[in-house]
Structure 1
Amino acid sequence: MSTLRSKSLAAFAVFAAAVPLAAVVAAAPAEAASSKFCTGGSYAVLGKVGQKDRFRGTVAAPATRFLVQGKYTQFTIDPVTFAIYDYAFTGAANTGDMTGGKLTPVYAGKVPDHRGLALTSGIGLELRDEDMTISRTGTSGLSMKIQAKDCAQGGIFQMEVARGDGTRTRIVHTLADTTFYYDNPNFRADLGKWLGSGCTSEQTGPSGDLCVRVSPRVNIGSDLSPKLILRDSAQVATRIPQASCGPDLTNALGLTETRDHCGATSVWDVASGGRLGMVTGEDATEVANPPTACTEDCQAQNQVGGKLATLGFPNPVPAASRLSPRTSPDGLTAPLTAP
């Protein structure tokens, strides 16, 4: 059975900035995560603290990886590439906590391949309460921006990249040892149904912002914290198949299927101006339309004020739903997707 909720928490994950990536801009709208999930949230990074300083400016780039420490989330950043390492939930107490109070690693890395380019400028940084925007520019028009919210769940992270030559950037996600990708059986049980408050029929819809057809869903789970639920959220990005991974599932409904997906890695070609984010909690099992394809002057058009269906997830996740093997070299050297 699906459930309906009154307001999308995923605005942050479908938001794309309306200014060049090189600029330091205000963080995404407050709808990104319910305020109760962000109580007391604030990042400390490069000697600045959001709640105390509400800093906005430029800071010198360190020579080595630096820590972004929040109340609810933490990770490190490589200053030369803006790769993310060791993203984790801290386990701090909150009504939206999904960890059971435990430090819970999620991603071992989110690593872009800039193909010889490097970030060289000072670091643009904005910290305000639970919001952080951090950016840097480099050679040949390269720019990177990371937006994060220090919250227990919601749409709380996105990475954006742009290049002067307009080509795509390959980004590899690698999960932590205790997390895994899986094909959500709750979605598979309802494949093809039209769900949401705007539907008049599960069989016919009609299609709209508040009536969406259920398609296969790959989520991220955790053996360490079984209540943890996430998913990758991409805008103008193409996942590269890894042929030795699976299982390769099928349906007779013409829906895009879960195929060639490893259990702990995913490979993405992101358009210049596109982004890779993640959504957590109820957002991760929402039956919603995909983000609008946009790389410039974007608006959060996928926000809805009505009700969308959420299908939840099994706890524990059945072994048959987990994707395997965990890693494969397949796809890593595939030709880059055209712009």
Structure 2
Amino acid sequence: MKLNISSLRRVRVILSFAVVGLTMLLSPAAHAGKECGAIKATIFSGGSKLATYKAGDKLSVPASKMPAGAIMKVRGDFVSYDVALDSFEVRNYTLTGKAGKGQITDEPTPVYVTKTPDVGVLSGDMSLKIDKGGSMVVQRGSSKKAKIQSKDCTQGGVFQMEPSPTANETNTLAPGFRYCYQATPSSALFFTNDVVLGYDSPETASLLSGGAGGSQALWEVIGGGRIGMVVGEDADEKIIEQSGSIDAGGLCPHQTIGD
């Protein structure tokens, strides 16, 4: 069968569209993007609810609403965790798995048992700001203090802790997760449960002990520095940048939902 010039042109056009479509399906950009929700923070003491704060609130929380042992329960669409307000220890940090753009897990997934800054006992009022775009900033303390910045999003940079002045921070991963790769003691420390890939993101901080092969990492954070948390596609790109492989030589195998 002979094809005339018009037929050949039509075939080329069809093939071009097919190649473009296949490229879009295979490209990481096809899964790009994320969805963010809204954070609500509720303070409890001895099982009693003392106060609730929501998107749009920007205020100073008086020390009288944070008695010894008080807990702030942070709940969003895509993340949840508790904060011990006298130490700023973060407990049971969990990705909820709620459906949303860029979601990387399809079920509730605890990531950290604790994230603990070595700042002693914090006192005084606490500054709190919750944006309508899904982010929250809280800070407490004077000579020693701690600051948390958090985002309620399906992936990306979703959390960071800033102890001050120079202090240690201990991160303990939830069961099923393990630290799996770090290029240098002051670079990203990756973790995975074979579904979610993420990393502890240091800035003017370095790993003192733990790390790859275990479930705990002890960081020294220089005053003004922080330890962040990144999950999802940004972690995919970072591990390729630092190790040359999405699986970091077989140490960090994972399967992102939607791939």
What is the TM-score of this pair, normalised by structure 1? 0.55
Unmatched segments (≥5 aa) in structure 2: 1-26, 43-51, 253-259
Instruction: Tell me which amino acid in the other structure corresponds to 2:175.
Output: D
- 2:235 is paired with a residue whose SS is helix
> Does residue 282 in structure 1 map to residue 253 in structure 2?
no
For residues 196 and 212 of structure 2, what CA distance do their matches in structure 1 show? 20
- 1:99 is paired with a residue whose SS is coil
> Does residue 133 in structure 1 map to residue 137 in structure 2?
yes
Alpha carbons of 1:69 and 1:312: their partners in 2 closer, same or farther (altered >3 Å)?
Answer: farther
Shift of 1:142: 1.1
For residues 174 and 80 of structure 2, what CA distance do their matches in structure 1 show? 14
**Which of the numbers 86, 91, 99 marks the counterpart of 2:92?**
86
Shift of 1:81: 1.1
For residues 106 and 81 of structure 1, what CA distance do their matches in structure 2 show? 20
- 1:37 is paired with a residue whose SS is coil
Shift of 1:183: 3.0
Q: How many correspondences in the alignment?
A: 209
Larger Rg: 2
For residues 281 and 310 of structure 1, what CA distance do their matches in structure 2 show? 17
- 1:94 is paired with a residue whose SS is coil
Query: 1:227 aligns to what?
Result: 195
Q: Write the deviation string for residues 201-259 of structure 1: whole angstroms up to 9, x where unpaired.
A: xxxxxxxxxxxxxxx9742112xxx43110010001110134xxxxxxxxxxxxxxxxx
Query: 2:152 aligns to what?
Result: 150
> Does residue 43 in structure 1 map to residue 39 in structure 2?
yes
Contact persistence 1:108–1:175 (CA under 8 A): yes
Between Structure 1 and Structure 2, the one with more strand by share is 2
Q: What CA RMSD, in Å, does the superposition of the two structures yield over aligned residues?
A: 3.2
Query: 2:58 aligns to what?
Result: 56
Contact persistence 1:4–1:310 (CA under 8 A): no
What is the TM-score of this pair, normalised by structure 2? 0.71
Alpha carbons of 1:287 and 1:93: their partners in 2 closer, same or farther (altered >3 Å)?
Answer: closer
Contact persistence 2:180–2:212 (CA under 8 A): no
Alpha carbons of 1:152 and 1:311: their partners in 2 closer, same or farther (altered >3 Å)?
Answer: farther
For residues 228 and 85 of structure 2, what CA distance do their matches in structure 1 show? 19
Alpha carbons of 1:281 and 1:62: their partners in 2 closer, same or farther (altered >3 Å)?
Answer: farther
For residues 227 and 236 of structure 1, what CA distance do their matches in structure 2 show? 29
> Does residue 71 in structure 1 map to residue 67 in structure 2?
no
For residues 146 and 85 of structure 2, what CA distance do their matches in structure 1 show? 10
Query: 2:13 aligns to what?
Result: none
Between Structure 1 and Structure 2, the one with more helix by share is 2
Shift of 1:156: 1.0
Alpha carbons of 1:221 and 1:169: their partners in 2 closer, same or farther (altered >3 Å)?
Answer: same
Alpha carbons of 1:143 and 1:183: their partners in 2 closer, same or farther (altered >3 Å)?
Answer: closer
Contact persistence 2:209–2:219 (CA under 8 A): no
Shift of 1:157: 0.6
Q: What percentage of residue pairs aligned between the two structures are identical?
A: 29
- The residue correspondences of 1:1-339 to structure 2 (distance < 5 A) are 34=33, 36-38=34-36, 41-46=37-42, 47-50=52-55, 54-59=56-61, 60-63=65-68, 64-100=70-106, 102-114=107-119, 117-129=120-132, 130-138=134-142, 141-163=143-165, 168-183=166-181, 218-222=189-193, 226-242=194-210, 261-287=212-238, 313-314=246-247, 321=251
Select the structure with the greater relative contact order (CA < 8 A; seq sep ≥ 6).
1
Unmatched segments (≥5 aa) in structure 1: 10-33, 188-215, 243-259, 289-307, 323-339
Contact persistence 1:72–1:92 (CA under 8 A): yes
Alpha carbons of 1:180 and 1:287: their partners in 2 closer, same or farther (altered >3 Å)?
Answer: closer
Alpha carbons of 1:264 and 1:93: their partners in 2 closer, same or farther (altered >3 Å)?
Answer: same
For residues 142 and 221 of structure 1, what CA distance do their matches in structure 2 show? 32
For residues 4 and 43 of structure 1, what CA distance do their matches in structure 2 show? 29
- 2:35 is paired with a residue whose SS is helix
